Chains A and B, each alone.
Chain A
Amino acid sequence: MAVITLRELTKVYPGGVRALDGLDLEIADGEFFALLGPSGCGKTTLLRTVAGLETATAGTVRIGERDVTRLPPGDRDVGMVFQDYALFPHMSVTDNIAYPLRIKKTGKAERHAAAAGVAAELGLDGLLGRRPAELSGGQQQRVALARAMAARPQVFLLDEPLSNLDARLRLEARTFLKKLQRELGVTTVFVTHDQAEALAMADRIAVMEDGRIRQIGTAAEVFRRPANLFVASFIGSTPMNLVDARVRGEEIEAAGTLVPLPAEARGLVTDGQEVVYGVRPDYLDYSATAAGGAFHGRVVIVENLGSTSLVTLDVGGVLLHALVGEGSEPEPDERGWAVPRPGRVLLYRDGDLLDGNDVTVAA
């Protein structure tokens, strides 16, 4: 159980690619932490640097009390689950799980007993004699987890733990992983490119872009108050509406409509300033009758998302998305109003969130 502290961490690959750029990060003891970002943002490099599979070009990695920056992976007391699980194909499940103990020179009987114990915790009993190729994807993942747990490391590192599972299994595994992490209470860092996965599982999320962290926060913080336009457009299964706007006194002009200025932005903007008006489709209420302070436009398309529908409104040439509940879906070509929910509208200036209390870190 340990805190992970990264200071000024930089990784430059031969050839000059700067995968990590002076990164500071502190992951609390027992935390379930997600590194989220599009591919190539450096999240996997960060995880591998913590594991010791990549050597930092500059900066330090501390796990607990120890500076492990220059230690080989085996001395860092971490357990890792790889994206492809990397189960040794020639070993049985028992031997796979017991492998870390074999390296630690634990006796055969003892390590097999330990492996059986961990396997039982993860519901793998009955599969101990099998080879990895004879297991389903979900089982393979649990064997990989069991192997990472076997030596009782201080830290778990999971590289895209769910990406190799099919969609249905993924939800199951998500719940399973979160439950397991809570029970074990071990500091766990996982990498994902799927924002829904990060929101669902992590205690805190670091959103990364180009080797930098753009925001760190809880799922609620990152979802409700994205610190900048990158995070705003990356988080959320339906992309946030981001509209170029201009401040007009106590109001704001976006998509040719005058809407009220959000309360918390008052005093931070001056008349005539250019901003970006952001509101999630989840927080735009569709109304078929006229409403004040609302965007008025023509329904272009209605997409069924199951329990909700995504309505696209054409507001003076700007397309706005709104989520509509079951039963109240409009027909295409109808005229309608989209009412922004108070307290859920965000203003961005120069790419960063306008926010009275600067709780978020913009690196």
Chain B
Amino acid sequence: MTVRETLGRIGVAVFLSAVLGFFALPLLWLAFAPFDAEPELSASLPDFTLHNFRVLMDNPYALASLRNSVLLAAGTAALVVTCAALAAYALSRVRIPGRDVLLYVLLLLSSIITGTAAMVPIFLLAFNLNLIDSHLGVILVLTGGLLPAAIFVLKDFTDSTPTSYEEAARVFGASPLQTLRHVVVPVIRPGIATITVWTVAMVWGDFLMPFLLLRDPGKAPASVIMYTFYTEGGQPDLALISTFSLLYSLPVVGMYLFVSRRYGFRFHGGIKR
């Protein structure tokens, strides 16, 4: 091995360690800080205590906000998956002129709906529809933003399912909805699982829309409540924030592990033949 190669290897190793450290440190902080009596912004071996969790339990909004997050995520996911499955099935099977253009335009616009650009109009719309300070309002807005991408992905899954499955169901007398329930949905289940996980993760992490549309802190989801964890002095309350962050991230990690084990995130639609 030449000196040059050795140096090259060392360089690669150093670079990879730096990248790894960059990603690992916040996770280490997340693992250690909640159990630290004096949490700081650096990751260090904790002076072990569960006191932080007691403080969190005493906070009136912390647990309620997690419940709200679950509510928003579940509601949006249910709506997105149902609508996307129906729309994707129809778009995949019925020939509409300009279908692909329509899909791409929707996809493009969807990033605006939940983005900062449409903040004011969405607020006004929600205000006029009496949807301010209601979970339904947030769910509807988020659904609108996520639906195009969900339809796009699910349409791909339905496209790759042979139509003969549905024709077989039809010949044996199944109605379109029965065909969808008995045949199409089970066959594209990996796609639906993917969309569900993706929607939940998106809603779970979304800050802007609930912050904009919900006034009552009792209705705010975890992502918004975290923003309120300051000490009287205006300093971030690291004890609360770290503990809450841990609780906040666990459900998403759990969901990922569950779905990954169950469906393996295999991106296949139909059956190879």
Contact = CB atoms under 8 A, between A and B. Distances in A.
Interface of A: 51-53, 72-75, 78-80, 82-84, 86, 88-91, 99-100, 102-104, 132-133, 147, 151
A104 B189 CA distance: 25
A83 B171 contact: no
Interface residues of B, number: 20
Contact of B170 (A53, A88, A132): A53
Given A88-B183, A90-B186, A80 B173 contact: no
A84 B162 contact: yes
B38 interface: no
Given A74-B172, A88-B183, A104-B173, A53 B167 contact: yes
Nearest to B174: A103
Contact of A133 (B170, B175, B271): B271
A82 B168 contact: yes
6 contacts: A53-B171, A74-B174, A78-B171, A82-B167, A91-B186, A103-B174
A99 B170 contact: no
Nearest to B271: A89
B6 interface: no
B214 interface: no
Given A86-B165, A100-B173, 12 more contacts: A52-B170, A53-B170, A73-B170, A74-B171, A74-B172, A74-B175, A78-B171, A86-B164, A88-B183, A90-B187, A103-B174, A133-B271
Nearest to A87: B168
Q: Is the interface of B mostly helix, strand, loop or mixed?
A: helix
Contacts of A132: 271
Interface string B184-213: 001101000000000000000000000000
B170 A72 contact: yes
B178 A103 contact: yes
B259 interface: no
A78 B171 CA distance: 7
Interface in B153-171: 162, 164-165, 167-171
A79 B169 CA distance: 11
Nearest to A53: B167
Contact of B168 (A72, A80, A90): A80
Contacts of A82: 164, 167-168
B94 to A, nearest CB: 13
B19 to A, nearest CB: 41
Contacts of B266: none
Contact of A73 (B171, B178, B182, B271): B171
A99 B165 CA distance: 12
Contacts of B170: 52-53, 72-74
A99 B167 CA distance: 13
Nearest to A77: B173
Nearest to A72: B170
B261 interface: no
A317 B65 CA distance: 93
A89 B182 CA distance: 11
Contacts of B162: 84, 86
B54 interface: no
Nearest to A78: B171
Contacts of A84: 162, 164, 273
B115 to A, nearest CB: 38
Given A53-B167, A84-B162, A151 B172 contact: yes
A103 B171 contact: no
Q: Which of A51, A88, A132 has the most CB of B within 10 A?
A: A88
A51 B178 contact: no
Most buried by B among A82, A133, A151: A82
Contacts of B175: 74
B171 A51 contact: yes
Interface in B118-175: 162, 164-165, 167-175
A251 B100 CA distance: 67
Given A90-B186, A103-B178, A74 B167 contact: no
Contacts of A51: 171
A51 B169 CA distance: 12
B172 A100 contact: yes
Contacts of B164: 82-84, 86
Nearest to A99: B172
Nearest to B167: A53
A101 to B, nearest CB: 9
A53 B166 CA distance: 10
Nearest to B165: A86
Contacts of B172: 74, 79, 99-100, 103, 147, 151
Nearest to B178: A103
Contacts of A78: 171
Nearest to B166: A86
B171 A52 contact: yes
A147 B182 CA distance: 15
B271 A86 contact: no
B183 to A, nearest CB: 6
Contacts of A89: 187, 271
